[in-house]
Structure 1
Amino acid sequence: MNKIRFILMILVFTLYGCAKEEAVPVIVDFEFDVFNDDFSIPVQVVFFNKTEGGEDYEWTFEGGVPSRSVNRNPGVIQYEAKGTYTIELTASNQDGSMDTKILEIQIDDPVLIDFEVTNLVDNFSPATFSIQNNSSGADSFSWTFEGGTPANSSSENPGEVVFTEPGDHEITLEISNGRETYSQQKTITVAPFLVPDFDFEIAFDDDDLQIPVRIQFENKSISATSYQWEFQGANVLTSNDENPEVVFNQTGSKTITLTALNGKETKSLSKEISFFTNTNLRELNDIRLGINTAHTSNTTGSFYSIADRTVYTAEEITTAISERIDIVFFGLSSTFVRNRFVSPDELSGTTFDALQNPKSTIFINSQELCGCSASLSVAQFDAMQDDTLLSSLLIEETPGGLQDFDNSVLPRIVLFQTQEGKKGAIKIKNFVNDGQNSFISVDIKVQKE
């Protein structure tokens, strides 16, 4: 029994003593990840070691910082220059097993997109723009020119593009390095087509268009850079000013022509204005002059300026306006039993406040009581086309002529002469009873000079 056990022990020892250890193989594998998937320098890469059976590691990073590592996981490697680089990992163990893996990584230059648009000459249609590409790091280019000629280009620098249609146009550039794509847009503006246009403003004192007539022209042309004016019957026949002022001194229909230019187009526009013989007579119609309560309550004024052609109420009278008042109507009440026109410097007999630096005007309120030679009928007033009749009148201030008048005579003609010597006539057309807001309605014919 003991013999058999010994034999068995000998056999087991022999079997185990003859057995050999098996070596563990090394299988190298690794992966990497580029931060933000951005392969444009600077590039940061993190490596993941997936090697099996390894104990010692040797990393080599061509072009990387750091360029070598013996750690299982080397951390972050940074690349600062464009190129294609190898990454090599060699792993080994105590059993003498070794394996190597090599990969390549492509590092790109940074992709920067930018372009410059320069307008050549001007932006009037057709407008030419020069395109300069300032991008870098790309190897393909795609241009789109909205409304341009050409409409597209794949050239790095497309050169000049022509835009004809007025308005805003978008220029789009798309660039790529094969892995990354970027785009940028810029807008250019083409000026509207050339349109000549103008308006004019007749001087206030010349708005009856009786020569001489001073006119200020207002240029409203679109997309013009220079102007040529032609004036018929004016003191100047031509002008290159943008907004000229001209005096017309010939009667009849006169043509004004504006030619607008912008270096690419030339267009003209003509308008006509009719001018009339100077009658030296200004006609002012449908003027309302209030009784004293209408004036002081600021409903309808009693003070009138021929130069301003304006009726002023009490609250509107300033020092400057006081000096311009020619006519003052004083109506005592809405019954119109006592009415008269008074000189601006003779307001003491009225309910009105005195004016500052007032003018002096002579009035004949009652021709029938005047006892003077001046006389003008309603028919003569209505037929008056020039100042001939007024010029012949000798307007004198008399006690009778200054007498009040009532509303029993309608129409009534009141004569006057201003401080400047201008003679005129007032035709009272209506007495309107509206209580404290009562007023008279009048027409006035007066000499201009």
Structure 2
Amino acid sequence: MFIYLYAQFIYFIGFSWRNPVGSKKKSTMNKMSYFLMCLLLAVSSCKKGSAPKVPLEGNEAVLPDFSWAGSSIAPAEITFTNLTKNATSHQWDFNNGTTSSKEQPGKVTFVTPGAYTVTLKAANKSHNVFTSRVLLITTDDNPIASFSYGFKNKISYAPATVQFVNESANATSYEWDINGRKDNVKSPIDYIFSTAGTYKAKLVAINSSKRSAVFEQDIIIEANPNPVAKFAVGKTPGGYFVGQEIYLINQSTNSDSYLWNFGIGGPADTSIEHAVVKFAKAGKHTIRLVSKKGNLTSKPYTITILVKDI
């Protein structure tokens, strides 16, 4: 249709060029009317909503996730819902002899009581990842408390962000105690552990008959193996002045060597642990410290100070 319309348009332009204004005016008007009719016909023939769908590129990170619903008393029919993002293929293993490659597998039957590790593998063109959760199938309606946890961005050293997943069964309400922080929600918000150590996490699961079950687990946070650069600038009355000695207190951790940089207009770099610096010019100066341990290098730590004329 558009090729035909284009041909008609070229014909009309050529006709108008061969017939100057004032000659065969009526014929020119007829040609214009004919062209406009073709244009309207072409526009009306375009189907609404016929724009092609943009396919998934396959480079996005796959974020596997799923949930389930249903009674957990055996024999149990559990409905699984796939919440995965950016995946083009899915593979389920329900740990009961049943598998599925459907995006939404629907209902799955668990005949006998037990703890079933349900795994979902999700992939696209560039990524292939999986996630697993434990489904508890019971013999009665007594509550069972259970949870698992993982580390955000797979960082298990301090400061570490821990993400909790409630895997309890036959419960209608919950009481969490994570290192002294209490919540009454099904799934608590992420918890940040700032220092290394072993911490307690407890979950109480309660059913509609007010019967309860308790599950406790230790959360182990490792020490950060990487060097961390940090320092403080010694305070002086009235601020900092040209030619004044400014003391820099190194507070780096897990480090055995250091490199100080004092920016444009500052003195030369130094590798001593605690530096003393003088600036010859007034203005803002950025002090930068990088620490190392063996072959590991910290992220730079910077502080900007204002140096005044005397």
Instruction: Note whether the superposition's TM-score is higher than 0.5.
Output: no
